[in-house]
């Protein structure tokens, strides 16, 4: 059994490294034994991470966990992209509004306060 573990060790280290880049804070919490954070953040990964950190994961289990974390990371990236594009859209909209308000102000000033459009008293 010992040689299987030592054979899996580099693989496990690589998996941990990938996990680290994919989900740093969650892995850090797991390694620190702070399972409350992990359970709160991603309950579906808690069991897998517990096994991985305890060195009980098979390569196949670690792979499945990796895939799931990768999908999570893609989902997060997608949401970040979405938020970013919505923010850009909103900024553009606000800039247009400001320009429009500026134009209205210039027009009102140019139209002069003296003409009294629509002032019925």
Task: Determine, yes or no, domain membership for 120.
Answer: no
pLDDT band at 1 (very low <50, low <70, confident <90, very high): very low
Distance between first and last Cα of the chain: 96
For 57, the domain range is: 2-110
CA nearest to 58, candidates 105, 115, 15: 15
Task: Tell me how far CA of residue 76 lies from CA of 22, 70, 73, 79, in angstroms.
Answer: 11, 10, 5, 5
Confidence at residue 42, expressed as pLDDT on a 0 to 100 scale: 65
pLDDT tens, position by position, 20-73:
555 666 667 777 777 676 666 666 677 777 777 777 777 778 788 788 878 887
Task: Determine, yes or no, domain membership for 115.
Answer: no
For Cα atoms 56, 62, 64, give the angle at the middle one, nearest 5 degrees: 135
Task: Determine, yes or no, domain membership for 121.
Answer: no
Per DSSP, 23 falls in state: S
For 84-92, what is the mean pLDDT?
Answer: 86
Confidence at residue 88, expressed as pLDDT on a 0 to 100 scale: 86
pLDDT tens, position by position, 57-67:
777 787 887 88
Give me the number of domains the chain comprises: 1
């Amino acid at each position: 059994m010992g040689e299987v573990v030592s054979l899996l060790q580099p693989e496990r280290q690589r998996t941990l490294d990938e996990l680290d880049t994919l989900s740093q804070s969650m892995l850090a919490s797991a390694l620190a034994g702070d399972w409350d954070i992990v359970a709160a953040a991603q309950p579906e990964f808690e069991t897998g991470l517990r096994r991985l950190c305890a060195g009980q994961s098979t390569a196949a289990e670690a792979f499945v966990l990796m895939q799931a974390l990768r999908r999570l990371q893609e989902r997060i990236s997608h949401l970040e992209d979405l938020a970013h594009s919505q923010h850009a859209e909103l900024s553009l909209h606000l800039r247009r509004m400001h320009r429009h308000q500026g134009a209205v102000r210039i027009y009102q000033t140019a139209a002069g306060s003296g003409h009294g459009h629509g002032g019925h008293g």
